[in-house]
A = this chain, B = another copy of it.
Amino acid sequence: MGGDKAPEVVIDGAEIARERFPDISFLMFGDQPRIEPLVEKHPKLAAVTEFRHTTQVVSGEDKPSIALRSARESSMRLAINAVRDGEASSVVSAGNTGALMAIAKFVLKTLPGITRPAITTYYPTMRGESCMLDLGANVQCDAENLVQFAVMGEVFARTVLGIDKPTIGLLNVGVEALKGSDEVREAAAILKETSLPIEFMGFVEGDDIPAGTVDVIVTDGFTGNIALKTAEGMTKLYTSFLKDAFSSSLSAKIGYLFIRRALNNLRQRTDPRRYNGAMLLGLNGIVVKSHGGTDSVGFANAIGVGVDMAQHGFISKIKQDFERLKDGQNEQKKAAVS
């Protein structure tokens, strides 16, 4: 029921995802009399869909704390419960991000060793694709949070982006060791010493985000959110500037006809729908947040991310890494007292 054009976009997105993933099946939570007829339009989708009727919904304006306490029969809450109960392998929602995070954290709990979940997404770069976290779940972060984000991001890049040994960078205002806030410098020191086989590359700067200098960029939720939205805004700026350029003269208009196909390829390469689906990492379950304003293609991609994470055993891999991290820290402590 979440997102600007729900439930239509969600259902049409599910149909596209069904075509891509032949083994998929859906539990749909929401107003059954409203959604069932829409699903029935796609007989193959209807065949793999089970409905769970509820009329309660979390709205985009609801405060997370209110949504958590009072919306116990909401479609969002019930869908997350289904992951907790093992009925679903992941939950995908285009609804209220804050509420989704609050409810998911309460219902699913964080994985052992993880203090705070983080939001991540991946995006196109000069080198391919990279991911960044946190994107807004944690406005203020200490060094320990940042280290945990690094470990979560590394597992994410391995399992979802398929990168064998992902490189990690810590976002800062300069690459020199003395630059930045205390939290960032302390996190760098811990990551340099860690016993985990993490490819920590040290500090990176804002321009390393689009350059794709590293596979995983670690930062606090305030900076990450602003950097990601700045990048999104720059894409809009360039789209608008190019539109102006291509309509600025007769010659440019003729040129556009020759170049249209190449530009379409570029547009596909940077299509925000292709990168739709932000992941809530660190929870004991897979939770994917679709952009509220996306279309069915974008929503299908968010479902795809949920499928990828489930198929590649994201949760068990992240658990293993945090156990190793804990063991490493215990050994360091032992070494320190021996």
Contacts and interface: CB of A to CB of B under 8 A. Distances in A.
A121 interface: no
A237 B206 contact: no
Interface stretch (A147-155, A265-273, A283-291, A303-311): A265-273
Q: How many monomers of this protein are in the complex?
A: 2
Contacts of A265: 245, 248
26 contacts: A136-B173, A173-B226, A180-B222, A205-B226, A205-B229, A206-B226, A206-B228, A206-B233, A207-B229, A207-B236, A208-B233, A209-B230, A211-B233, A211-B237, A230-B230, A230-B234, A231-B231, A234-B238, A241-B270, A242-B266, A245-B265, A249-B261, A251-B259, A252-B258, A252-B262, A256-B259
Interface of A: 63, 125-126, 136, 139-140, 171, 173, 178, 180-181, 205-211, 219, 221-223, 225-238, 240-242, 244-246, 248-249, 251-252, 254-263, 265-266, 269-270
A125 B207 CA distance: 18
B233 A259 contact: no
A259 B252 contact: yes
Contact of A254 (B231, B234, B258): B258
A251 B245 contact: no
Q: Which of A226, A227, A231, A252 has the most CB of B within 10 A?
A: A226
Contacts of A260: 255
User: What 4 A-B pairs have minimum CB-CB distances, sorted nearest first?
Assistant: A206-B229, A255-B258, A207-B233, A255-B259
Contacts of A258: 251-252, 254-256, 258
A223 B262 CA distance: 35
Contacts of A125: 237
A210 B230 contact: yes
Contacts of A256: 255, 258-259
Nearest to A235: B234
B225 A246 contact: no
Contact of A230 (B126, B180, B206, B255): B206
Q: Which of A140, A205, A210, A257 has the most CB of B within 10 A?
A: A210
Contact of A171 (B226, B248, B257, B259): B226
Given A245-B259, A246-B259, A206 B227 contact: yes
Contacts of A140: 181
A230 to B, nearest CB: 4
Contacts of A180: 139, 222
B266 A261 contact: no
A233 to B, nearest CB: 3
Given A173-B136, A262-B245, A206 B232 contact: yes
B210 A237 contact: yes
Given A206-B226, A252-B259, 4 more contacts: A126-B237, A206-B232, A226-B226, A238-B238
Nearest to A125: B237
A248 B263 CA distance: 10
Nearest to A182: B140
